[in-house]
Amino acid sequence: MKKVTKFHRQIAISYLKTAAFVMIASFLLLPNYIKVVRDGNTIFNVYLNGKQVGCVSDINKLDAYLLQARTRLAKESNGMLFVDTDLEVVGEEKYFGRTDSKSYIVDQMYQVLSESRKETRKRSYTVKINEFTVNLSSSQEVQKLLQAALAQYDTENKYKVELVLDPTRELNVLTTSIKTTEEVAEEKQAEESFSYEAGIGQALTEMLADVEPAVEKNFSDYELGLMDISYGDEVEIVESYLTAKDLTPLEEAVDLVTKNQETQAIYEVVEGDTLSEIAIKTNIPMDSIIEMNENLEDENSTIRVGDELVITVPEPELSIEREEEVYYEEYYEAETEYVYNDAWYTTESQVLQQPSAGHRKVVSIVSYRNEDVTGTEILKEEVTIAAVPKVVEIGTKVPPTYIKPISGGRFTSGFKKRWGRWHKGVDWATPVGTAVMASSGGTVAKAGWGSGYGYVVYINHADGRQTRYGHLSKVLVKPGQVVKQGEKIALSGNTGRSTGPHVHFEILINGTQVNPLEYMN
């Protein structure tokens, strides 16, 4: 019995030792199970946006798992992705509990993020032209838009636009560079193969070109056509992230940029302008011009040389400036030649030679802004028939001025038809005895009674004109007397055929009465 008891005791001890070893080995060798910890949470359920994505024992790794899931989703989106990421951890105290692997949790997080996708913003490009902007989906579309603007005038596709970094800007802002197709091809070739000979050869060619004598070109030597083209407005392109609804289809963008829009401009009034003439010049209805300018009340409003008026002109958002070499033949007029006569007044002139048009062949550089010509430079001209200029002799002396012959008075009758016949002067009602003054300096031609005029004074002036003062009560000058402008020559009255006290005043040019109001200062 003793031996049996001793044997059973040994078996029991061995069993207990084995069981203890197995338990210890299980805890050490099986990572999916946690060690028993009696205080605090020992296992954590992980939730993302309200959905369980796994179970972990170490919450410090969750941020790394989430970042890996977000990175995988971002690589698939090809843009700026917006998703909800509400991560929640709920802890429990368990003696035993199974945890999930990293790959399982990352996969579950990726799935939840995919379902929580809110908005994807695509990498895009914003084109800014002055205050106008348009958004396109790619840099290729930007180039097509800008190329379409050039193509309106570059029908042979001689020029190409490239997007380059703007060196004047600190941020990554793109701008445009326009080159000929030949320049683009040469640059590409130079990049592929550059040799010492090419560099030296080009330098020698340029040096020899500088010393070659200039030879006059024939008309056939000119290339003609488009010689240069550029954008007339500043263009900036910036990268942006936008939603699909913020993007403009390429065809619509081309229309927005190239089609004419009504743009405000300033028109400066020049000599001889009237509102009606400005309306014709600008092709804008007069009512519209008046409506756009607060200082204009109606079509009779006064405008002066140098005034600035607001008008609208049709112009695209992106203007194109270009130079074209053109050949043409035309009939032309020579500039008028003047012969100055110091003995004549500036109001006197005489044509000494009548003009005759000439004919010429011309090659010139014409500058444009859109459809408007902004300048012309003649490169070659051949006159086939010489134009004969008009020759005019004109005076240089400033002519006399004319003033109202009385102070005050009430205007009663103008230069017009009256009582069945023409009234050949103007009248001012004034009391008898009012001083009458010489309207301009000159020599008295007549002083005395003048039939229907009553007492009258005639004065001849240096510019060949004559003034007459009628219905006087007293004459204060004599024939042949020289008088100055403003000098008293008579007193007003009511003599001759008169209906009341007044002064009658006339101006005659070449013996014919004219409206005095048009010549008085």
In order along its 521 residues, the chain shows pLDDT tens digits of: 334 344 445 544 554 554 444 444 333 333 333 333 344 678 899 999 899 999 998 899 999 999 998 888 878 766 666 777 889 999 888 767 788 999 999 999 989 888 877 666 788 999 999 889 999 999 999 999 999 999 999 999 999 999 998 888 777 899 999 999 888 888 777 766 554 445 555 665 565 555 556 678 898 889 899 999 999 999 999 998 888 889 999 999 999 999 988 878 899 999 888 999 999 888 888 998 999 998 898 888 889 889 999 988 888 999 999 999 999 999 999 999 999 999 988 888 999 999 999 999 999 999 999 998 999 999 999 999 999 999 999 999 988 999 999 999 999 998 887 766 788 899 999 999 999 999 999 999 999 998 889 999 999 998 889 999 999 999 999 999 999 999 999 999 999 988 899 999 999 999 999 999 989 98
299 lies in the same domain as 426: no
Residues 288 and 349 in one domain: no
Q: Which is nearest to 485 in space by CA: 453, 454, 459? A: 459
Same domain, 67 and 182: no
Structural tokens at position 423? 């009234």
CA dihedral 307, 308, 310, 316 (to 10 degrees): 140
C-alpha distances in angstroms, 294 versus 269, 288, 386, 486, 497?
16, 11, 51, 42, 51
Task: Output the pLDDT for position 126.
Answer: 95
d(CA 423, CA 427): 10
Q: Is 409 left (phi over 0), alpha (psi -120 to 50) or beta?
A: left
Reduced to 3 states (helix: H, G, I; strand: E, B; else coil), residue 302 is coil
The CATH number covering residue 465 comes to 2.70.70.10
Same domain, 451 and 304: no
The position carrying tokens 């008293």 is 488
Whether 287 and 324 share a structural domain:
no
Asked if 487 and 444 touch (Cβ cutoff 8 Å), the reply is: no
**Could you say which DSSP state residue 455 is in?**
E
For residues 229 and 340, state if they share a domain. Answer: no
The pLDDT of residue 420: 65
Whether residue 279 sits in one domain with residue 134: yes
Claim to verify: residue 458 and residue 513 sit in the same structural domain: yes
Non-local CB neighbours of 121 within 8 Å, separated by 6+ positions: 79, 80, 81, 82, 241, 242, 243
My answer on whether 311 and 429 are in the same domain is no
The domain boundary, picked from 292, 318, 344, lies at 318
d(CA 70, CA 98): 26
98 and 150 in a common domain:
no
Q: Are both 159 and 249 inside the same structural domain?
A: yes
Q: Same domain for 289 and 330?
A: no
Structural domain for 157, as ranges: 120-187+222-318
Count of domains forming the chain: 4
Query: Which residue among 56, 88, 115 closes a domain?
Result: 115
Q: What's 392's domain CATH number?
A: 2.20.230.10
Instruction: Please calculate the CA angle 274-275-277 and round it to the nearest 5 degrees.
Output: 65
Task: Please tell me the pTM assigned to this model.
Answer: 0.53
DSSP E strands, 282-390 = 308-316, 320-332, 337-345, 349-353, 358-369, 372-385
pLDDT the model gives residue 22: 40
Amino acid at 169: R
3-state secondary structure of 297: coil
The region that residue 454 occupies, defined by phi over 0 for left and psi between -120 and 50 for alpha, beta otherwise, is: left
